[in-house]
Every structure is written in C-alpha cells, then in structure tokens.
C-alpha cells in the first residue's frame, strides 16, 4: 500500500493582519493618552468613593504639600481674573509689584508659595529657580492668615462667573494646615468647596454600596 504523503505546510503565518491591528491600537492609545502636565508640586491625593469628576475650568486651587505648606494657584484659562487678583492683592497689601512681577503671576502654571514679605523677590525668579527654591508656603495660622487675602481677591475677581474652589492635599499633610485653609475660607464666608481625591471603589456591604446597587443585593454583614 502506498504511503499517504502529507503535504508539508509552511508554519509561517501571515503577520500583516496582526500588524495592522497592533498599529491601529497603537495609534488609538497615542491619540487618547493625555500626559500629565509636569506638576510643580508633587502631591499624592487621598482616595475617596466620590465619583463626580473634578472641575477643570475657572479653578482656584489651594494645594497642601506633604509638609503641610500651602500654595495658591489659579487655572490658566482665566488670565483676566489672575490679573485682577494680583492687582487687588498688590493694592491691598501695598506690595509695590511691577508689571513684570504681575506678568510672572499671570504666566501659565504659576503658583504662590511665599508670604507677602517675600513675594516681590519670589515673582522675579524664573521657573527653574522656583523649582530649586525652598518655598515656605503661605502662612495660614490664625494670627496671620494670608491665604484669606488671596481667597478674598480671587472671590472678588471671579464674581459673575462661578469660581470653583478646589483643595488638593497630600496624604501626609497634617490636619492643622487643613484647618488653616478652612479658616481662611470660612472668614471669607465660603462654606462650599471641593477636595480633589483619587477614585476608589465602594466597599461592598455598606450602606452606600447597597444604595448604588439596589436593595436586592444581599448585605455582606
């Protein structure tokens, strides 16, 4: 009986289709990736179960770093408000800022991290020098709460359009600095603000979990 001859098949696969898919996905990810802007202040925010996304426009941000120092910044899409804020603060505190100093504040990505006594030399620094500078932060103790002045100026500048006040705190920041921030807001009669957090899952079995998932879910405990 003659042997059945099996035709030898090539093991090489046509990679073209796979290549197409790979690069399609690649282009998708390249286009959708939004790189985090290089943040001047390294802050690790705590987690919460809150689900509403943080505002991006017309934001007045108060940042607390890990040592509890306070920084004040305004989002870049509001240059006119920034101008108003720095003018107002300059006038009120008689800081004697030049137009160049004010420009430094209006420049994108700027933030204030010094008391009023140092602000003039602070604004004269370039952004590279700012990185290296050991910033003392804005004082928020009850005797000398300078953040209050900044917040009041911001509140006045954003009158008309709605100001979104965000607090971005580091995990390690101690409570007294947070209290200082709250005091600064309270003295300006601002009682509503938001705290930036990272999203976190709702622990199962809790009241909120049952509310989100409907009452049919059996309680875990």
Q: Which of 175, 213, 217, 220 binds another protein (CB under 8 A)?
A: 175
Q: Which of 35, 38, 99, 216 binds another protein (CB under 8 A)?
A: 35
String of DSSP letters for 114-152: S-GGGHHHHHTS-HHHHHHS------BSSSSBHHHHHHH
Q: Which of 176, 213, 217, 220 binds another protein (CB under 8 A)?
A: 176
Rounded Cα–Cα distance for residues 58 and 166 (Å):
10
Nearer of residues 68 and 113 to another protein, judged by Cβ: 68
Rounded Cα–Cα distance for residues 64 and 170 (Å):
6
Nearer of residues 77 and 172 to another protein, judged by Cβ: 172
- CA distances (Å), origin 186, targets 27, 56, 147, 181, 189: 48, 23, 11, 9, 5
Q: Is 173 in the site for another protein (CB under 8 A)?
A: yes
Query: For the chain, how many residues are written?
Result: 221
Query: How many residues at the interface with another protein, by CB under 8 A?
Result: 66
Q: Is 109 in the site for another protein (CB under 8 A)?
A: no
- CA distances (Å), origin 108, targets 73, 79, 131: 10, 9, 15
Residues numbered 191 to 210 that lie near another protein (CB under 8 A) are 191-200, 202-203, 206-209
Q: Is 170 in the site for another protein (CB under 8 A)?
A: yes
Closest to 74 in 3D by CA, of 159, 185, 146, 157: 157
Q: For the window 5-34, what string marks contact with another protein as x by the rule CB under 8 A?
A: -------x-xxxxxx--xx-xx--xx-xxx
Chain center to CA of 3: 75
Binding site for another protein (CB under 8 A): 12, 14-19, 22-23, 25-26, 29-30, 32-36, 45-55, 64, 68, 141, 166, 169-180, 182, 185-186, 189, 191-200, 202-203, 206-209, 211
């Amino acid at each position: 009986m003659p042997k059945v001859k099996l035709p030898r098949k090539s093991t090489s696969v046509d990679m073209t289709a796979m290549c197409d898919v790979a690069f399609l996905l690649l282009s998708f990810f390249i286009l959708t990736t939004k790189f985090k802007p290089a943040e001047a202040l390294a802050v690790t925010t705590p987690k919460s179960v809150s689900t509403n996304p943080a505002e991006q426009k017309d934001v007045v941000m108060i940042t607390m770093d890990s040592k509890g120092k306070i920084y004040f910044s305004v989002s870049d899409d509001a240059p006119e408000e920034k101008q108003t804020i720095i003018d107002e603060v300059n006038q009120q505190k008689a800081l004697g800022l030049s137009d160049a100093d004010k420009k430094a504040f209006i420049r994108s990505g700027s933030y204030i991290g010094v008391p009023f006594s140092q602000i003039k030399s602070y604004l004269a620094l370039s952004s590279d020098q700012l990185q290296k500078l050991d910033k003392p932060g804005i004082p928020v103790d009850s005797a000398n709460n300078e953040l209050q002045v900044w917040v009041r100026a911001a509140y006045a500048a954003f009158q008309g359009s709605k100001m979104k006040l965000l607090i971005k705190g580091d995990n390690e920041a101690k409570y007294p600095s947070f209290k200082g921030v709250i005091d600064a807001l309270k003295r300006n009669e601002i009682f509503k603000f938001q705290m930036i957090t990272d999203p976190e899952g709702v622990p199962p079995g809790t009241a909120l979990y049952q509310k989100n998932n409907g009452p049919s879910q059996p309680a875990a405990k």
